[in-house]
Structure 1
């Protein structure tokens, strides 16, 4: 059963609830940051590469973002900020991430990740205090034993024991972003020695109020990526925590983390594709620089393939970000699937672009080409490596048997507003986010898309190819259903490599559903997106990764996608579904 949230109109609602508003904010930020390829621009790629090489934060650009009021993007409108929907937030932040993932984390969304627990369960006073902090340019950071900043997952955790007037906090963590400069620390600490869903609680800590000798700042940790971000550690020894610092109730921490992390995962996927777009732009420069004629044929496959993947990744991310507003009780499953598949797409895309760029992809002397090397190093540190995939598998695998038995091929499709650009959606409400159950609306969407395309199956042309691919993914879902029905009910399945492969296949299947849904929703405003060619290429690549049979593609599809790619490169347009103008 698909349950949708209600769209509520607030009297005198502030600016920011439409896609046009978010794109306007992004355009303003794009203009402020300036041409990333201008070597004299203090906020351009050359300056950001230099800061990364020196392992220092880009202070001048952070100051610009503070003066631009970026912190308001992380504060709900009810508390004076600009946060309405997660999909609009991602659009507004893309200008930052297309230049530097480390900057996006170091000055940007880490504060949102920390504040999410407050938006989910904080008291009115806590919400307003955190809002005021972020609105005046302050930072928040998150201390959680399962939050991985890279593949080096920290096993340390914090514990809080009851004491007079509240709690005493102990514990250590060695790698925390902005540990030494955050104005607020959001700590997930163990409050029950027993293992289980009620083992942890969330606390808000003011570092300045801890008292002498209670908090020790550990040395800075140098990581291979995101070198311009500041990572260091904290150790607490009997630090006093007042009772009013508890967020929600004691024991709510695990459930809160599951709510907040689905937003965090989805937003990351919604912004990091823009960073990969910068690398694609570099590859297009390398493939066309000094050439009068068309792009050399040997580069057609990697360039068009990566472009199709970026459109597919944007489709997946956009749909899940919209689902957080429209289908909040059910979005958790798709959020894990998207965070599972999008990083894999991007890692493979960077490998393909490396064949086009060659040694130039590692040249930081100028702004034109070095984004490849930096992003290859930054992605794992941003939680887009193996550790991030493992956390998503832990969400997906336990639910596969139940989905196979009760959801697949029996649920209704989600509302069309989930896919259609410009649709009016409810604001994001963390409190409504489900953490288990709820069925699988994306599998239902896949089956519906394939049924609507069925009449074209076996015909010539791109629509016939798309119909064939849609049916191939439905066939894969049927095969997956049979295998998942035989899964054991015990938790041992989490460590079985054969079961992990099933989660790979599932994530790819629902990713394909997002591509089909976005293509079906096109109204013809953008002729390229309304044509099936990009979706056919994207789905054929996704099918190939899963071992799903791929029908022969019609002639001209690659050339059609390449023509659009070249047009966007020459006109300075983004390589995503929005096709927005960049500062060049």
Structure 2
């Protein structure tokens, strides 16, 4: 693969390493995409839904994103792009994902998932080539082995055997996003028949140079969701791959995958929350349209509750995305925990919103209400289904006993920059990401937050409820410590349903730590976020799901959160921590 085009920043694109820079890039993208509810907008929801219904990519919107320099977001700044930190990347991409998860995946972010191997272990020439490809509007796709995703659509594997001039690639995979239109294929191929951590290697393949008869494109596969994305298969037969296509060293594939997947799973959580925010706006519209008085009482609980969940999901995602930069050797456990918790919360939220929207939520042609049906279908295909949860369990379960014995209630709290908005953080370095060990900084953060809130326990009011909830989660962590210390050291624990339940409880506990950390380090510029009400409702809902004791909550909390939600809807603001303005 040789790309010689000049690398330039997209004109007019703000560049920098601050949250303000990322918000400016997101605002620019919002303005380019226009009002999503305008039926005449060629990039609006009605057009995107129609393309999904036809099973076609939205060509005009993809062309707009290419012209806008979307690919620069996926390329590290050191290689001429805009990518500095994962949390800033998620903020910059949300305008696309809040409109269409299939577009966000099918058009672009899958290229980041593929290129991550090069950003992790590629040599200087490979980095230059892949950067130039993405910066000039090209696409990359990923041909992964099963380990990194534990996903049923990824069962087939590829094998590569050594040859005098490099490798010969064989194998087949039936379901690959952008298989037919990617300019670069990043292949995780088995290079050692023996099982073990050195079994796979990463190869870069230019499909245009595969050779006649060596690469066969298989038919398109229609999936229930992301219908506008293009899934099809590939089959390689004795396909030559040059030695220079090897990323890193032979046998590095598993380690590369485990590092890259931390970024991938965390970014997914950071962007798909915005898509559920679109559905929440639809629900508020449905309950307020044509009414002059207050909302009907029956809608208060689901609307306020889902809003609190979205704030919690954003808090958890923001913390892990920052941790990838600030605490790279330790972030892998929390990345798996967040990917475990957030999809479950979002799925349950969509079920609640379906009850609010009723039949309107399944009106495919409606830009105001059609997002629910599409998102229910899209999320599992985007890796937020049960198979994705299984991959997170595979990370968490083997570490529970060690964390219980050595880390919980013994480790130091993480730096406050992990939670503080506007804090300066190092750039993301894929190669620094750890894949094992490293302790549990979020459990330490939970204990610290509970200790600082302890004087308010039992005092009543919103702050008292928050203090009681924090202590309840710490009590749950103590119980987990006793149970996890008795876990077997063999791999049999992975298939034990009781141990899987422990991993779910643990993920919820450290997820709660993210919410507490974000609330505790508010700078007061947003009175709503500085008030503990949203954190109380979010933690009470999470505690209820885990069977953790929930204190009595003040009656005013639900109304306070509902008022903020309606205000944001009326002002066209997002349902996340940033409350950014949408396109008019």
TM-score range normalised by the length of the shorter chain:
over 0.9
2:10 paired residue number: none
1:200 paired residue number: 200
Matches within 5 A, 1:554-565: 554-565=554-565
1:24 paired residue number: 24
2:218 match: secondary structure = strand
Q: Distance in 1 between matches of 2:146 and 2:427?
A: 28
1:73 paired residue number: 73
CA contact (8 A) 2:149 2:388 kept: no
1:538 paired residue number: 538
Matched, 1:144 2:163: no
1:213 paired residue number: 213
Q: Distance in 2 between matches of 1:131 and 1:524?
A: 40
Q: Distance in 1 between matches of 2:31 and 2:149?
A: 30
Q: Give the 3 Å change call, closer, same or farther, for CA 147–267 of structure 1 in structure 2.
A: farther
Matches within 5 A, 1:94-133: 94-133=94-133
Deviations 1:477-499 (A, max 9, x none): 00000000000000000000000
1:319 paired residue number: 319
Deviations 1:466-515 (A, max 9, x none): 00000000000000000000000000000000000000000000000000
Question: How far off is 1:150 after superposition?
Answer: 10
Question: How many residue pairs get matched?
Answer: 571
Question: How far off is 1:209 after superposition?
Answer: 0.7
Question: How far off is 1:555 after superposition?
Answer: 1.9
1:234 paired residue number: 234
Matches within 5 A, 1:322-471: 322-471=322-471
Question: How far off is 1:125 after superposition?
Answer: 0.3
CA contact (8 A) 1:149 1:381 kept: no
Deviations 1:505-536 (A, max 9, x none): 00000000000000001011000000000000
1:310 match: secondary structure = helix
Q: Distance in 1 between matches of 2:367 and 2:376?
A: 16
| Cα RMSD for the two superposed structures | 1.0
Question: How far off is 1:164 after superposition?
Answer: 1.3
2:81 match: secondary structure = coil
Q: Distance in 2 between matches of 1:287 and 1:331?
A: 41
Question: Can you give the 5+ residue segments of structure 2 that lack an aligned partner in the other structure?
Answer: 1-13
Question: How far off is 1:108 after superposition?
Answer: 1.4
Deviations 1:62-109 (A, max 9, x none): 000000000000101111100000000000000000000000001111
Matched, 1:258 2:258: yes
Q: Distance in 2 between matches of 1:150 and 1:369?
A: 33
Q: Give the 3 Å change call, closer, same or farther, for CA 150–349 of structure 1 in structure 2.
A: farther
Q: Distance in 1 between matches of 2:298 and 2:391?
A: 38
1:9 paired residue number: none
Matched, 1:514 2:514: yes
TM-score normalized by structure 1?
A: 0.97
Q: Distance in 2 between matches of 1:15 and 1:25?
A: 8
Question: How far off is 1:319 after superposition?
Answer: 0.2
Matched, 1:309 2:302: no
Question: How far off is 1:152 after superposition?
Answer: 3.5
Question: How far off is 1:364 after superposition?
Answer: 1.6
Question: How far off is 1:16 after superposition?
Answer: 1.9
CA contact (8 A) 1:150 1:383 kept: no
2:167 paired residue number: 167
Question: How far off is 1:154 after superposition?
Answer: 2.8
1:488 match: secondary structure = coil
Q: Distance in 2 between matches of 1:550 and 1:485?
A: 26
1:42 paired residue number: 42
Q: Give the 3 Å change call, closer, same or farther, for CA 548–557 of structure 1 in structure 2.
A: same
Q: After alignment, is 362-371 or 427-436 more displaced?
A: 362-371
Matched, 1:57 2:57: yes
CA contact (8 A) 1:397 1:493 kept: yes
Q: Distance in 2 between matches of 1:150 and 1:583?
A: 38
1:153 match: secondary structure = helix
CA contact (8 A) 2:144 2:154 kept: no
2:229 match: secondary structure = coil
1:234 match: secondary structure = strand
Question: How far off is 1:460 after superposition?
Answer: 1.6
Deviations 1:528-584 (A, max 9, x none): 000000000000000000000100001200000011001000000000000100013
2:158 paired residue number: 158
Question: How far off is 1:366 after superposition?
Answer: 2.0
Deviations 1:250-299 (A, max 9, x none): 00000000000000000000000000000000000001011101111100
1:190 paired residue number: 190
Q: Distance in 2 between matches of 1:414 and 1:304?
A: 31
Q: Give the 3 Å change call, closer, same or farther, for CA 127–185 of structure 1 in structure 2.
A: same
1:7 paired residue number: none
Q: Distance in 2 between matches of 1:503 and 1:546?
A: 11
Deviations 1:435-475 (A, max 9, x none): 00000000000000000000000002100000000000000
CA contact (8 A) 1:150 1:385 kept: no
2:282 paired residue number: 282
CA contact (8 A) 1:115 1:130 kept: yes
Q: Distance in 1 between matches of 2:287 and 2:118?
A: 48
Q: Distance in 1 between matches of 2:146 and 2:72?
A: 27
2:173 match: secondary structure = strand
CA contact (8 A) 1:149 1:175 kept: no
Q: Distance in 1 between matches of 2:25 and 2:154?
A: 36
CA contact (8 A) 1:150 1:384 kept: no
Question: How far off is 1:155 after superposition?
Answer: 1.6
CA contact (8 A) 2:148 2:261 kept: no
TM-score normalized by structure 2?
A: 0.97
CA contact (8 A) 2:166 2:241 kept: yes
2:5 paired residue number: none
